[in-house]
Chain A
Amino acid sequence: MPKINLSHFEAAFLFALFTSVVMGITSKKTDKERLNYGAYCFACFLFALFAIGWIMKLGHG
C-alpha cells in the first residue's frame, strides 16, 4: 500500500473538500441549495484554515 506525506495545508484542503461535499448533499433539499451550501462550507473551512494559521504564526512570534 502506498504511503503519502501530505503537508498540513494539503491535508486540511482535502478534509475541507470531502466534508463540504457530504455536508452540502445531506443538509439541503434542492440541488442549487446543496451546491451553495457546499461551497459556503468549503469557503468557511478555508477561511478558518488561513485565519487560525495566521493566529498561530503571530502568536508564536
Chain B
Amino acid sequence: MAAQTTTAASPQEGSKPASTWILPVLAAWVVPGGGHFLQKKTGRGALILASVGLMFFFGMFMRGMMFTPDKGDILTTLINYGGFICDIASGAFYFAAAMFGYAAPDMPGAVHDYGTKFLVTAGLLNILAMVDAYEIAIGKKD
C-alpha cells in the first residue's frame, strides 16, 4: 500500500527550476536563435537567426509600420497592443531599429502592408523559437 502511494508522481516533480531555462529563453528573446546557440544547437540557432533577421529586414525595407501601444476603441487597442508585443518579440532587431529612429508611418499600399506583416511575423517566429529554447532547456526536446 505504501509502495503504491510513493509511485504516484506529484505535479511538481516534472517541473524544472526557473534557473535552468530562464537564461536560454531570455537569450532567445534578445538575439533570435540565441537560446539555441547557448545550448550548443548552432545549426538551428543560425537558421532561426537568418529567418527572423531576414523577415525583419525585409519588413523594414518594405517600410512596414511599427506598432505603438495606443488606445482607441476595443479593436484598435487590441491590434495596437498585439502588434506592439509582436514587434518587441523580435528582440535586438526591434530595439536597434527603434534606436536608429526607424518609424515608418502607416501608409496605404500592398508593399507597406506586407512590410508591417513581416515585422509582426518576425516577432511571432521568435516567440516560437523562445518556446523551443525552453523545451530544450527543460529536456523535453533534444
Binding site for B on A (CB under 8 A): 1-6, 8, 11, 14-15, 18-19, 21-23, 25-26, 29-30
Contacts and interface: CB of A to CB of B under 8 A. Distances in A.
A30 B111 CA distance: 37
A15 B118 CA distance: 7
Contact of B111 (A5, A15, A25): A5
Contact of A29 (B52, B110, B142): B142
Interface residues of B, number: 27
A27 to B, nearest CB: 8
Contacts of B61: 1-4
A25 B48 contact: yes
Given A15-B117, A26-B132, A8 B55 contact: no
Contact of B54 (A8, A18, A30): A18
A13 B118 CA distance: 12
B125 A22 contact: yes
Nearest to B32: A22
A48 B29 CA distance: 30
Interface string B105-134: 000001100100110010001001101100
